[in-house]
Amino acid sequence: MGSSLSALNIIPNPMSLTVSGDMFVLSDLVDIYVRPATDEVTNIGRYLAGRLSPSAGFEISVLEAADIPPDENIHLILAEADPGLGEEGYILTITPQRVTLMAYRPAGLFRGCQTIRQLLPPSIERATAQPGSWTLPTLTIRDYPRFEWRGAMLDVARHFFSVDDVKRYIDLLAYYKMNRLHLHLTDDQGWRIMIDAWPNLAAHGGSTQVGGGPGGYYTQADYADIAAYAQSRYIMVIPEIDMPGHTHAALASYASLTCDGAAPPLYTGTEVGFSSLCVGKNETLAFVGDVVREIAALTPGPYIHIGGDEALSTEEAEYRQFIEQVQAVVEAQGKHMIGWEEIAKADLQPGSVVQHWRNGEPAKSAAQQGNRVIMSPAFRIYLDMKYDETTPLGLSWAGYIDVKTAYDWDPASQVEGMPESSILGIEAPLWSETLETISDIEYMAFPRLPGYAEIGWSPLSGKDWEAYKRRLAAHGARWDAMHVNFHRAASIAWEE
């Protein structure tokens, strides 16, 4: 790797890349050939065609590849040839005659499509026909991710965001080869998912938000739509039902979940730590059972996040017992439990995952017991932290996080004594106390999110802020083409 990499501005940086100095020209005769022509591989071909045709200004057909398909085209090939590529790896070979993208698994073809997009001029990302020419540099890339968990969390509880807003965020995550979307569905200010057995959770608990606006909630069809859309981008959705703390919206919806039998009024402020389910009550366990069962049935992925953070109003021994009860309910549904680091106080099953956010000790002890850890150190990766004191949105309790602070760290050296083998990967939480629109989400996520995508995907060796900064500067034009409302950090020499 070296300067040739920066010349190409791919983010995340590929594992290996050799440029050969010539060009492949995408002509209006180009087609995408797929082999095997299964529905899944054909759909990936159609996805790529859908990204290129509108701006290139010509139709691109997706065809079954003959044995020796013609030159001048793009070839997507699923083959057992290179198992070392794993679930998401790919080999991209571009010569003056053809573009060949090969992968061991379909997700690898999808990840390689993002590289092809980023090798084309930024105007390829526009929605209307643009003047060409559409050239690709000739090269060979062999690429696969360092960590299996490269995610983002979106808090749709403090402020509610529409299905379309979530799909937009999914598309932006996909462009940077991220593969996990953690949806923070419930909190003190809102319950955002319909549970048929407890309809008032969404009907009443979802009827407002921070600041008193109308809030909202996902029907089960909406949530299934989001999960399917994410899956079509090879992104796993992880739903979070935050318990036993951060539950005021649920308590306001059902007095039977409180200890004193009185349902409190809905809450539209931004305090934390004041609420708790009345743990130990049979009604509470029935609630947990129904919620987990319905969410599990709607979630294709193997994980359910049960929160567990900031349970300041739950007695310690009762907290531990509750987490162990919820863990058993989740496992009985054939899923594994994820929780914020506080759950490490409880006796965890091997498949349970701990999400580090503030205090390294619980996460380290969980790792030492053999549990895997998702790294979300707040002072590095909380996207709701302001860039600096002038940022109009966001909070600052974990400090300011400018673009360099967001990039210049490594997950494997955050917590003393936590081996890299315990780390599933990283996840960038975006809490929405101060965010109301997708435009606000984009402003806080860009330009920091691509750096997290690179930390999760690219090799640590060769990582260099100065080189990354130059590659990032070239992405401003891509975000302009996509109409992403990004923060034009002064520290980056944005290219037009």
Helix 163-175, helix 438-445: angle, nearest 10: 20
- Minimum Å gap between C-beta 115 and ligand IFG is 33
Number of helices (H), then strands (E), in the chain: 16, 17
Smaller CB separation from ligand IFG, 160 or 340? 340
Strands (DSSP E) contained in 145-270 are: 149-155, 180-184, 186-187, 190-191, 236-243
Interface residue with ligand IFG among 272, 286, 412, 473 (CB under 6 A) is: 272
CB atoms within 10 A of CB 311: 28
* Catalytic position from the list 283, 310, 436, 495: 310
Coil/strand/helix, residue 327: helix
Asked if 384 is part of the footprint of ligand IFG (rule: CB under 6 A), the reply reads yes
**Is the peptide bond between 302 and the residue preceding it cis, with omega within 30 degrees of 0?**
no
Q: Residue 247 or 327: which CB sits closer to ligand IFG? A: 247
Peptide bond into 36 cis (omega under 30): yes
310 part of the active site: yes
Question: What track of x and - describes contact with ligand IFG for positions 387 through 426 (by CB under 6 A)?
Answer: --------x-------------------------------
Which listed residue (134, 287, 340, 479) binds ligand IFG by CB under 6 A? Answer: 340
Q: Which is nearer to ligand IFG, 356 or 478 (CB)?
A: 356
Binder of ligand IFG out of 134, 431, 452, 457 (CB under 6 A): 431
With CB under 6 A as the contact rule, the residue among 175, 357, 407, 486 that binds ligand IFG is: 357
The pairing of strands 90-94 and 134-143 is antiparallel
Between 395 and 477, whose beta carbon lies closer to ligand IFG? 395
198 part of the interface to ligand IFG, by CB under 6 A: no
Query: At closest approach, how far in Å is the CB of 421 from ligand IFG?
Result: 24
Among 309, 440, 442, 454, binds ligand IFG (CB under 6 A): 309
Closer to ligand IFG by CB, 384 or 402: give it.
384
Based on the number of CB atoms within 10 Å of its own CB, is 86 exposed (0-12), middle (13-18) or buried (19 or more)?
middle
Torsion of CA 349, 350, 352, 355, to 10 degrees: 120
Burial class of residue 71 in the structure, from the number of CB atoms within 10 Å of its CB (0-12 exposed, 13-18 middle, 19+ buried): exposed
240 binds ligand IFG (CB under 6 A): no
From candidates 82, 310, 331, 408, binder to ligand IFG by CB under 6 A: 310
Which are the contacts of 481, defined by CB distance < 8 A and separation ≥ 6?
122, 123, 124, 125, 126
In whole angstroms, the minimum distance from the beta carbon of 248 to ligand IFG comes to 12
CB 327 within 8 A of CB 348: yes
- Cβ distance to ligand IFG smaller for residue 173 or 343: 343
Looking at 382, 409, 457, 486, which residue binds ligand IFG (CB under 6 A)?
Answer: 382
- Residue numbers annotated as active site: 310
Binding region for ligand IFG (CB under 6 A)? 272, 309-310, 340, 357, 382, 384, 395, 431
